[in-house]
Amino acid sequence: TKRVVIIGAGIVGTNIADELLSRGWTDITVVEQGPLYMPGGSTSHAPGLVFQTTPSKTMTHFARYTVEKLQSIEKDGQNCFNQVGGLEVATTPARLEDLKRKHGYTSSWGIEARLVNAEECLKLYPHLNKDVVLGGLHIPSDGLALAARATQLLIERTRKAGVKYLESTPVTGIKQANGQVTGVTIPNGTIEADIVISCAGFWGVELGAMVGVSIPLLPLAHQYAKTTAVPSLVGRELNKQINGKNAELPILRHQDQDLYYREHGDQYGIGYYGHRPMPVKASSLGLTPKDVDEKNMPSRLEFTAEDFDPAWKETQRLLPMLQETEIADGFNGIFSFTPDGGPIVGQAPNLDGFWVAEAVWVTHSAGVARAVAEVLTTGRSQIDISECELSRFEEVQLSQSYIEETSSQNFVEIYDILHPSQPRESPRQLRTSPFYARQKELGAYFLELGGWERPFWYEANKELLNYLPPKWKPVERDAWSAQFYSPIVAVEAWKTRNAVAMFDMTSFHRFEVSGPGALDLLQRLSTADVNTKPGTITYALLLNDQGGIRSDIFISRLEENLFQIGANTATDLAYLAREARHQSKKDFVQVREITGSTCCIGLWGPRARDVINEITTDDFSNKGLPYFGVKRALISGIPVTAFRKSYVGELGWELQTTAEYGQRLWDTIFQAGKIHGLIAAGRAAFNALRLEKGYRIYGTDMNTEHNPYEAAVANGIRVSKWEDYVGKSALEHIPVKQKPSRRLRCLTVNDGRSMILGKEPVFYNGRAVGYVTSAAFGFTVRKPVAYAWLPGTLDQGASVDIEYFGRRIKATVTTEPLYDPDNKRLLA
Ligand code: FAD
């Protein structure tokens, strides 16, 4: 088996050792800079609250597995999880509403939960102030992780099975040769390894720096305090219990004031996120001493009592019983925050064999560990980890200033009620397309992704609302779904379907694959046969070894040895580039990102050809450029590559040029289009139009957990392709004639107006059976449209309910696509 070195014996490192071991890998060494009995990282002082539910399915399922696993780690008749349940209370009407949304997630992700009124909150938690609490959400399977104990038991059992542990041994360097990790350096020598997994917690930045990998996490101090004994609790039975199972009330969250609570016997523990962000540099903490103890460890800084004042006042209001206590002991404990709040997991893009699993909470630790072990041993994690990938960050997101600002902001907002579309306010304007100045002139409303400013609609189109035909008039939205939205979107959809619109497609990832080995690479990695004539576009999937979808891409053959890829994420780039590097040892191929050096306009609509014919002498007829064809052309003298395809389901092209011509291209098209009714349209309309056409978005609608048949993207597979490709043999084992057990299905909302936004649970016969992935108002079909994962047995016509803020919305499973199923518009 592979030789593995794990750096760090916290809850993450020890879990990974355990998960690898249980999958048959035995040559494992764990290197820890602190003493093993208490390594001194974040785990050593974690109070261990496990609230499982988040808007993320992945994170929730990581948490659920962590609960299961902690329950299974046992010694002396006691496991490592105290399942007291979790109670989140609302003290404001907005929070009360939001708990309903949260309850939706629990049903979507399969966690049992109940919305409770104020009275029931008091029954569950008698110490609450009845004048303050409006209601709550109770999750019976939440509870307390005994994280430090679990770590010790994991060390004990993995060590017995042969895992070697080195304590008080800092890793001081990572050895590499030819782009591959070869081992680690420690003070008295080196340890050779094929795989090094950095589980260094908030020291991750320092470990990454040893190999030139930016680890986008920020160590921040977070306040935790214990009260003196609560007089009325002193001497109660539960104090006699062993090993920290010293709580019986649910763990409590008071998110309106950034607070959480647990019992410690007759004392209370209070965690607070309301204070100023207090960033720390791990390298400034010095060496971990040999004699770490509860009060003296690197991850524990001096308590700054003045920062805790508001928390203490609010606590005494929420839990009046604590007025009889004082703060006995507090500290500022360090752990990691990241730019998007997710953990950092995966292989370094530029160094094979160097893996990280950092910025992971105790809550998700075993889940993340299992995922890493599964990817290493089988090539696929059963829970999708796309949103946790180290490679998900764009280059601009890896700068120190970006990491510091966004991670601090995540600390500030950790318990805030956040709308799914809510953009960060800063840093902004990091990446703008060459059309940006023009878009601003048109009153673009921008939302940010990956550093890009992306127009969602244009205020300039507002006056066209007056000309909207009645059946295109936007329906009124509820207050939540009306946020970060505008009725102008209806105009932009109408124009696209009936005249012509231009969409900024610049922020979509574009890569060039070139060289003598280009065809080989794409044949080997993709499901389609791309040995096509130059000038052809092919839709293809990238699969993992188990047939799970790792991306869907467009492969355009521009020349014999030059392909352009339309991809989804920076992770796609990391994957293709790594594979290219490996292949190049014998068959040269290069993968180059061209997203930012180029720009792209989607010119779409029934009158698109009228517009283009005004500004080109090249042949844009069906003969000159058939559907899924690509060619170079000149638009008013501007060199473009024209791709005959459309995400919105209308006639037209993606017109791509290099950045310096961008603004001129925009102006040229905009001017020429005026007499044909052309407008600029944004992402909100785009998203509605693509849903009507049934186009999936990778990451949102499907991911590595799904195979192409379930997601209904098997059109990306060339069945007759004889070459072997990644995932082929797994696909061959899927019984295609059989209905899959789950399917991505199209739903329409019966009342024609009730909005949903995504991630809501879907009920059939009163039982939660699936969840919504994307949703939008379908202007052409005059109904909200949703895509949802549902049991394969639910066929078209089935009547389901979607839960939205506690309300049930009737919807119907519908055949797809809703719009232009024969592609008449696309082929026009
Ligand atoms: P760590 O436990 O920090 O382990 C990393 C290890 O790597 C350390 O032992 C360190 O010594 C070692 N290491 C670092 N560099 C080197 C090197 N060069 N060589 C060798 N070894 C090295 N999470 C929850 O889920 N629920 C909670 O209620 C909760 N409350 C918290 C409260 C506070 C006050 C704090 C600070 C954190 C809390 N967390 C909570 C977060 C949680 O504690 C951490 O996310 C988690 O413990 C991280 O585990 P880890 O194994 O990744 O890191």
| C-beta of 201 in contact with ligand 1 (< 6 A) | yes
* Ligand 1 centre distance from Cα of residue 423 (Å): 29
Each residue of 585-623: pLDDT tens digit? 999 999 999 999 999 999 999 999 999 999 999 999 999
Mean pLDDT of 645-668: 98
- Index of the ligand 1 atom closest to the CA of residue 12: 51
Mean pLDDT of 45-66: 97
- What is the H or E stretch that residue 377 is in? helix 365-378
Confidence of residue 395 (pLDDT cuts 50, 70, 90): very high
Q: How far apart (Å, rounded) are the C-alpha atoms in residues 541 and 563? A: 15
**Nearest Cα to Cα of residue 503 among 774, 691, 684:** 684
Amino acid at 262: R
Query: For position 545, what pLDDT does the model report?
Result: 93
How far from 277 is each of 161, 313, 363, 409, 424, CA to CA, in Å?
42, 20, 22, 8, 17
Percent of the chain clearing pLDDT 90 (strictly above): 95
SS3 642: strand
Q: How far apart (Å, rounded) are the C-alpha atoms in residues 106 and 796? A: 26
The reply to whether 478 belongs to the active site is no
Q: Which DSSP symbol is given to 80?
A: S
* Ligand 1 centre distance from Cα of residue 390 (Å): 18
* Ligand 1 centre distance from Cα of residue 8 (Å): 9
* Ligand 1 centre distance from Cα of residue 340 (Å): 19
- Index of the ligand 1 atom closest to the CA of residue 200: 7
Mean pLDDT of 44-57: 95
* Ligand 1 centre distance from Cα of residue 136 (Å): 30
* Ligand 1 centre distance from Cα of residue 199 (Å): 9
Ligand 1, atom 47, lies closest to the CA of 43
| Burial label, 45 (beta-carbon count in 10 A; 0-12, 13-18, 19+) | buried
pLDDT at 243 over 80: no
SS3 239: helix
Q: Quote the distance between the C-alpha of residue 176 and its chain's center.
A: 30
Contact 813, 717 (CB under 8 A): no
Contact residues for 240 (Cβ-Cβ < 8 A; gap 6+): none
Q: Could you tell me the two tokens for 574? A: 């990391």
Mean pLDDT, rounded, of the chain: 96
Residue corresponding to tokens 């693509």: 690
| C-beta of 5 in contact with ligand 1 (< 6 A) | no
**Nearest Cα to Cα of residue 124 among 98, 93, 85, 96:** 85
Q: SS3 sequence, 563-616? A: EEEEECCHHHHHHHHHHHHHHHCCCCCEEEECCCCEEEEEEECCCHHHHHHHHC
* Radius of gyration of the chain measured on its C-alpha atoms: 28
Contact residues for 333 (Cβ-Cβ < 8 A; gap 6+): 42, 45, 46, 221, 222, 223, 224, 299, 300, 301
Q: How far apart (Å, rounded) are the C-alpha atoms in residues 294 and 285? A: 17
Ligand 1, atom 42, lies closest to the CA of 361
Confidence of residue 490 (pLDDT cuts 50, 70, 90): very high
Query: Strand 562-567 relative to strand 549-559: parallel, antiparallel, unpaired?
Result: antiparallel
pLDDT at 45 over 70: yes
| C-beta of 222 in contact with ligand 1 (< 6 A) | yes
| C-beta of 547 in contact with ligand 1 (< 6 A) | no
Confidence of residue 241 (pLDDT cuts 50, 70, 90): low
| C-beta of 11 in contact with ligand 1 (< 6 A) | yes
Q: How far apart (Å, rounded) are the C-alpha atoms in residues 567 and 459? A: 30
Query: For position 739, what pLDDT does the model report?
Result: 87
| C-beta of 203 in contact with ligand 1 (< 6 A) | yes
Pocket test for ligand 1, best of 362, 372, 411 (most atoms within 8 A of CB): 362
Query: For position 244, what pLDDT does the model report?
Result: 59
| C-beta of 39 in contact with ligand 1 (< 6 A) | yes
- Partners of residue 812 on adjacent β-strands: 748, 799
Q: Which DSSP symbol is given to 243?
A: T
Each residue of 422-476: pLDDT tens digit? 999 999 999 999 999 999 999 999 999 999 999 999 999 999 999 999 999 999 9
Mean pLDDT of 692-715: 96
- Index of the ligand 1 atom closest to the CA of residue 331: 34
| Burial label, 274 (beta-carbon count in 10 A; 0-12, 13-18, 19+) | middle
Percent of the chain clearing pLDDT 70 (strictly above): 99
Each residue of 247-293: pLDDT tens digit? 999 999 999 999 999 999 999 999 999 999 999 999 999 889 888 88
| C-beta of 8 in contact with ligand 1 (< 6 A) | yes
**Nearest Cα to Cα of residue 257 among 273, 268, 269, 270:** 273
Answer left, alpha or beta for residue 119, where phi above 0 means left and psi between -120 and 50 means alpha.
alpha
SS3 290: coil
Q: How far apart (Å, rounded) are the C-alpha atoms in residues 778 and 784? A: 5
| Dihedral Cα 211, 341, 79, 15, nearest 10 deg | -20
The reply to whether 222 belongs to the active site is yes
Q: Quote the distance between the C-alpha of residue 172 and its chain's center.
A: 32
How far from 817 is each of 57, 549, 692, 792, 810, CA to CA, in Å?
26, 21, 6, 18, 20
Q: How far apart (Å, rounded) are the C-alpha atoms in residues 621 and 627? A: 10
Choose the catalytic residue: 18, 266, 552, 572: 552
Q: How far apart (Å, rounded) are the C-alpha atoms in residues 552 and 565? A: 10
Amino acid at 41: G
Q: Which DSSP symbol is given to 76?
A: T
| Burial label, 660 (beta-carbon count in 10 A; 0-12, 13-18, 19+) | exposed
Each residue of 119-161: pLDDT tens digit? 999 999 999 999 999 999 999 999 999 999 999 999 999 999 9
Mean pLDDT of 223-244: 80
Mean pLDDT of 403-408: 97
pLDDT at 93 over 60: yes
- Index of the ligand 1 atom closest to the CA of residue 358: 52
Q: How far apart (Å, rounded) are the C-alpha atoms in residues 331 and 311? A: 14
Choose the catalytic residue: 105, 260, 261, 272: 260
Ligand 1, atom 45, lies closest to the CA of 361
The reply to whether 552 belongs to the active site is yes
Mean pLDDT of 230-236: 89
How far from 341 is each of 359, 406, 415, 458, CA to CA, in Å?
9, 9, 12, 30
* Ligand 1 centre distance from Cα of residue 647 (Å): 44
Confidence of residue 818 (pLDDT cuts 50, 70, 90): very high
